[in-house]
Amino acid sequence: MATKTVTDASFQADVLDADKPVLVDFWADWCGPCKMIAPALEELSDEMGEQVTIAKMDIMENPDVPGKMGVQSIPFLVLFKDGQPVAQQMGAAPKNALKGWLESQL
């Protein structure tokens, strides 16, 4: 399973109304740390796709949701369960750290 691209227009359906937890990676093309964690998130999507959807939202193309969420620094990861943000992590981390954090929250 590849990561899912989410937009301001699809956020309600893809994240808030999702039937399983969704990890949203708020990122931008110019962000070096965002590019560093992208391969790890792709791998986690493949490994954990049954448990969680991993989604990416480009904050430059989609300013509304990040603005409402108060995203001020990227990469910024937010885990949503039942339409509610339940955990967040700021900054880049190695894949094993991201996986451990995500598993502890599911």
Annotated active-site positions, please?
A: 31, 34
* Paired tokens of 84: 């509610």
16 closest CA partner among 83, 86, 88: 83
φ and ψ of 44, to 5 deg = -65, -35
40 closest CA partner among 75, 71, 73: 75
Q: How many CB atoms lie within 10 A of CB 86?
A: 12
